[in-house]
């Protein structure tokens, strides 16, 4: 006998069953771009069902009743990646005027999680279907964001989050003795081998997907052996270690230890680039084109561009990564991020290489390459479309009129249509972590 109490549950089951058997979608692509090979194939059709790509070709079998989406005048490609952002952080004003603590003191973790939702939606709106979020999230607002997206409550990019940033005593900054606690919970102290193991485990337990450490923000930065301990402890949970690096000495220790990625590029010179290329260490450079933000000057921008050029010439593995955690009036987070194309173009890097860096390299540095990202049969359907051909003109990526994430259309004809995401349920099963 079905009791009244069971009825809502049965209704939920019916909704989920409907979602799983929802009609296929067939996308007609004028040009299908493969960022891996830098090629474009005309007149292809992509068939999507139950959130995944099930067929790609000139004339694949399209299930009866499939919804047709006509992108025959556009270029279709897999979604973009920002490999270094902080979605739960937006400085109250220009960081040059010392605003870190204002954010920590004035914004609760709860409001930062809400802010992260907003920033994530704008990222998706700009074509970024994957974001590596590297800390500064209050007390794990990043995990809350990722869970909300994974469980289908809200639209947003796939988030690879770091949880709390682990560093030596005092985190990244230099508080006074009276206010040392202002750096917590943004930073997690780990000053001894035991504390390193415990800190990694704490982040794993509370939902991190990558471990972020401060290599050299203090004179007592991590040694090579300490970083190796981070790497081995993180590996037990299948995670990689990303290191914030800001000094040449820290950079060479990070390379010797074999970190997965070096975050930021100010300390990376020709010698370090050569060593990174030899060891296959990711360069997650955060090359801001904005002057007046993050203490960036005209001379600083010139150094950024020279660094990009040198890294590209040395065949360093590079990611498109922004560290865009500030507010620029009139621009969304997604618009600020795509504007970083300025830096890459200024470095003279060819459009096909930039596109590969923003896609294929992004999936790799997120450690998801075989699971999500590329437009391949069997993988989640994270698909965007642009006018023009980004292999010829990378600025085509500045306007993304079509976005699909996990097989659900988020934006069409330039208009966001996020309704289907709300309470849509998880594509890959319920998970609580
Ligand atoms: Zn950052």
- Omega before residue 202 within 30° of 0, cis: no
Contact 395, 75 (CB under 8 A): no
What is the DSSP pairing of strand 67-78 with strand 52-57?
A: unpaired
CA distance 101 to 118: 22
| Dihedral sign for Cα atoms in the order 180, 184, 187, 191 | positive
| Dihedral sign for Cα atoms in the order 89, 126, 358, 288 | negative
Calculate how far, in angstroms, residue 24's C-alpha sits from the geometric centre of ligand 1. 39
Name the nearest CA neighbour of 131 among 372, 411, 410, 401: 372
What was the pLDDT predicted at 421? 86
Calculate how far, in angstroms, residue 195's C-alpha sits from the geometric centre of ligand 1. 23
Calculate how far, in angstroms, residue 212's C-alpha sits from the geometric centre of ligand 1. 10
Residue the block writes with tokens 């969304």: 332
- Phi, psi dihedral angles at 131 (to 5 degrees): -135, 130
For domain 4-79+375-421, the CATH architecture is Roll (2.30)
CA distance 6 to 205: 34
pLDDT tens sequence across 11-35: 444 444 444 457 899 999 999 999 9
Calculate how far, in angstroms, residue 210's C-alpha sits from the geometric centre of ligand 1. 14
User: Which tokens is 114 given?
Assistant: 């809400």
Calculate how far, in angstroms, residue 89's C-alpha sits from the geometric centre of ligand 1. 10
Name the nearest CA neighbour of 409 among 399, 394, 424, 398: 424
CA distance 24 to 29: 16
pLDDT tens sequence across 124-167: 999 999 999 999 999 999 999 999 999 999 999 999 999 999 99
Calculate how far, in angstroms, residue 241's C-alpha sits from the geometric centre of ligand 1. 14
Reply yes or no on domain 80-365 having CATH 3.40.50.300.
no
Residue the block writes with tokens 């979608």: 25
pLDDT tens sequence across 231-265: 999 999 999 999 999 999 999 999 999 999 999 99
Calculate how far, in angstroms, residue 83's C-alpha sits from the geometric centre of ligand 1. 10
Calculate how far, in angstroms, residue 286's C-alpha sits from the geometric centre of ligand 1. 8
Calculate how far, in angstroms, residue 81's C-alpha sits from the geometric centre of ligand 1. 15
DSSP state of 165: E
Calculate how far, in angstroms, residue 402's C-alpha sits from the geometric centre of ligand 1. 28
Q: Exposed (0-12), middle (13-18) or buried (19+): which is 325, by Cβ within 10 Å? A: buried
DSSP state of 97: G
Contact 43, 34 (CB under 8 A): no
Calculate how far, in angstroms, residue 37's C-alpha sits from the geometric centre of ligand 1. 30
Calculate how far, in angstroms, residue 422's C-alpha sits from the geometric centre of ligand 1. 29
Three-state secondary structure call for residue 371: coil
pLDDT confidence bin for 293, thresholds 50/70/90: low
Residue 99, pLDDT above cutoff 50: yes
Calculate how far, in angstroms, residue 267's C-alpha sits from the geometric centre of ligand 1. 15
Q: CATH 3.20.20.140 occupies which residues in the chain?
A: 80-365
Calculate how far, in angstroms, residue 65's C-alpha sits from the geometric centre of ligand 1. 46
Calculate how far, in angstroms, residue 32's C-alpha sits from the geometric centre of ligand 1. 33
CA distance 158 to 351: 25
Three-state secondary structure call for residue 409: strand
Q: CATH 2.30.40.10 occupies which residues in the chain?
A: 4-79+375-421
CA distance 348 to 333: 25
CA distance 267 to 252: 10
- Phi, psi dihedral angles at 183 (to 5 degrees): -85, 0
Of 14-18, 26-30, 210-214, 429-433, the one with minimum mean pLDDT is 14-18
Calculate how far, in angstroms, residue 134's C-alpha sits from the geometric centre of ligand 1. 6
Element (H, E) at 254: helix 248-257
Residue the block writes with tokens 């058997």: 21
DSSP state of 380: B
What was the pLDDT predicted at 326? 82
Calculate how far, in angstroms, residue 145's C-alpha sits from the geometric centre of ligand 1. 17
Calculate how far, in angstroms, residue 388's C-alpha sits from the geometric centre of ligand 1. 32
Name the nearest CA neighbour of 352 among 38, 127, 74: 38
Calculate how far, in angstroms, residue 279's C-alpha sits from the geometric centre of ligand 1. 23
Residue 298, pLDDT above cutoff 90: no
Calculate how far, in angstroms, residue 323's C-alpha sits from the geometric centre of ligand 1. 5
Calculate how far, in angstroms, residue 27's C-alpha sits from the geometric centre of ligand 1. 36
Number of Cβ within a 10 Å radius of residue 357: 22
Calculate how far, in angstroms, residue 274's C-alpha sits from the geometric centre of ligand 1. 24
Angstrom distances, CA of residue 20 to CA of 69, 425, 427: 20, 10, 9
Residue 7, pLDDT above cutoff 70: no
């Amino acid at each position: 006998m079905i009791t009244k109490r069971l009825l809502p549950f049965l209704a939920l089951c019916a909704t989920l069953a409907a979602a799983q058997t929802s009609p296929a979608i067939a996308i007609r692509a004028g040009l299908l771009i493969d960022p891996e090979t830098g090629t474009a194939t005309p007149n292809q059709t992509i068939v999507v069902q139950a959130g995944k790509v099930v067929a790609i070709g000139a004339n694949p079998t399209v299930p009866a009743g499939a919804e047709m989406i006509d992108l025959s005048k556009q270029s279709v490609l897999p979604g973009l990646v920002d490999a270094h952002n902080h979605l739960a952080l937006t400085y109250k004003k220009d960081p040059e005027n010392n605003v870190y603590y204002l954010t920590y003191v004035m914004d609760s973790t709860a409001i930062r999680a809400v802010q992260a939702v907003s920033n994530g939606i704008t990222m998706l709106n700009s074509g970024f279907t994957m974001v590596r979020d590297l800390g500064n999230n209050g007390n794990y607002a990043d995990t809350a964001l990722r869970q909300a997206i994974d469980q289908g409550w809200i639209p947003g990019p796939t988030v690879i989050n770091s949880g709390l940033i682990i560093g030596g005593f005092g985190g990244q900054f230099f508080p006074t003795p009276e206010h040392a606690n202002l750096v917590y919970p943004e930073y997690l102290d780990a000053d001894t081998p035991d504390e390193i193991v415990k800190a990694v485990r704490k982040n794993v337990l509370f939902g991190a997907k990558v471990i972020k450490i401060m290599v050299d923000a203090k004179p007592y930065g991590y040694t090579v052996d300490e970083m190796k301990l981070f790497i081995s402890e993180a590996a037990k949970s299948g995670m990689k270690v990303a290191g914030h690096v800001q000094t040449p000495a820290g950079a060479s220790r990070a390379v010797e230890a074999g970190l997965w990625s070096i975050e930021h590029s100010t300390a990376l010179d020709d010698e370090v680039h050569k060593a990174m290329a030899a060891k296959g260490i990711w360069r997650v450079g955060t090359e801001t084109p904005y002057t007046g933000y993050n203490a960036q000057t005209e001379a600083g921008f010139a150094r950024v561009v020279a660094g990009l050029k040198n890294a590209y010439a040395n065949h360093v593995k590079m990611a498109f990564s922004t560290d865009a955690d500030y507010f620029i009036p009139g621009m969304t987070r997604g618009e600020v991020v795509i504007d970083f194309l300025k830096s890459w173009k200024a470095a003279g890097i060819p459009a096909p290489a930039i596109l590969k860096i923003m896609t294929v390299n992004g999936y790799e540095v997120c450690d998801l390459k075989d699971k999500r990202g590329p437009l391949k049969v069997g993988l989640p359907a994270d698909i965007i479309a642009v006018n023009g051909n980004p292999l010829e003109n990378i600025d085509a990526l500045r306007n993304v009129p079509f976005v699909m994430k996990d097989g659900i259309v988020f934006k069409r004809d330039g208009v966001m249509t996020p309704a289907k995401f709300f309470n849509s349920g998880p594509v890959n099963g319920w998970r609580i972590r």
